Amino acid sequence: MPEGQWLNIFSKEDYSDIANNIVKFNNYLTEKGIELIYVQAPVKTDNITNGGMFDIYKDYNYENANNLISILNQNNVNVLDLREKM
């Protein structure tokens, strides 16, 4: 990279199975009276504003995370999205 850094580029992935497993785990914990919070950590790339690096590579990290979080929100899983905070 021109800045001398190497960053991971994430391909488009279907995380619905992962999200559904988190939902099932949340439901199990809820039955036990335990609260779950899913924390989405940020990554180095900034795809919120530019959608990709150098207009050559498309990084799907934010889109993948948004899709996962959408499923969690639809199923009443508490989510703390640190991408919004940092």
* pLDDT, tens digit only, all 86 positions of the chain: 555 555 566 667 788 999 999 999 999 999 999 999 999 888 765 544 444 455 566 767 788 889 999 999 999 999 998 887 76
One-character DSSP codes across the chain: -TTS-----PPP---HHHHHHHHHHHHHHHHTT---EEEE---SS-HHHHSSBTTTB---HHHHHHHHHHHHHHTT-EEEEHHHH-
